[in-house]
């Protein structure tokens, strides 16, 4: 992170750790940045820590975004969305010159889908249609419940269907097939989006970069 940059702030445990570290660097290192949060939770944390924020409408481009992931394959494609912020995360990532993913070693998989779940954000009105179409593609899905037992509502006012998956043979093809269904807002598949993945394994850190 360099002085004067616009920085995308992801959602989840790893992203929250980055936001806290960034706040310390801004205060102690004299670095001035503006943050673009990917969720209300991240926005609240950044404001609490004193990081200046801007809306997506106020910037033409984000210099770099730091976010976590739920799965990372050897090609640096990822699945995100277990935390429920997948669509805003994907929008911020798409607007960024660089996307840096922060994960623990346990998030590495040989092929996406190994953890058994692919989140898809949908319009509530389209729930029945999306579930039928997903099942027809071989990916039965269940509505994600919120703390009150009712469907979880995203920051966008939508619902999330968690598709049951195994090893996804072609993530890009599946992403296209799902997003083509009316009512789908976005999937948790981030294909060819991550530029760098930083992997923590105990006290060691490995940096993996996508080939230019």
The set of catalytic residues is 89
**Cα 139 versus chain centre, distance:** 21
Q: How many CB atoms lie within 10 A of CB 109?
A: 17
- The number of residues making up the chain comes to 212
Strands (E), the chain: 6-9, 34-37, 62-67, 71-72, 78-79, 96-104, 117-122, 141-143, 159-164, 184-187, 189-190, 196-201, 204-209
d(CA 34, CA 51): 7
d(CA 156, CA 147): 17
Q: How many CB atoms lie within 10 A of CB 77?
A: 23
Cα dihedral 55, 33, 70, 178, rounded to 10, equals 30
């Amino acid at each position: 992170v360099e002085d004067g940059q616009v920085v995308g702030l992801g959602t989840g445990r790893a992203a929250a750790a980055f936001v806290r570290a960034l706040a310390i660097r801004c205060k102690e290192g004299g670095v001035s940045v503006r943050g673009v949060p990917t969720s209300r939770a991240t926005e609240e944390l950044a404001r609490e820590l004193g990081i200046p924020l801007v809306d997506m409408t106020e910037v033409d481009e984000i210099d770099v975004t730091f976010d976590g992931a739920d799965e990372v394959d050897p090609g640096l494609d990822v699945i995100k969305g277990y935390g429920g912020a997948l669509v805003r995360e994907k929008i911020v990532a798409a607007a960024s010159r660089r996307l840096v993913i922060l994960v623990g070693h346990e998030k590495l998989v040989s092929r996406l889908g190994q953890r058994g779940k692919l989140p898809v954000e949908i319009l509530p009105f389209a729930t029945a249609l999306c579930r039928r179409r997903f099942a027809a593609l071989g990916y039965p899905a269940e509505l994600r419940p919120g703390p009150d037992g009712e469907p979880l509502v995203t920051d966008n006012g939508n619902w999330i269907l968690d598709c049951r998956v195994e090893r996804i043979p072609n993530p890009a093809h599946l992403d296209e097939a799902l997003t083509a269904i009316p009512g789908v807002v976005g999937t948790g598949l981030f294909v060819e989006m991550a530029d760098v993945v930083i992997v923590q394994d105990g006290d060691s850190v490995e940096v993996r970069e996508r080939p230019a």
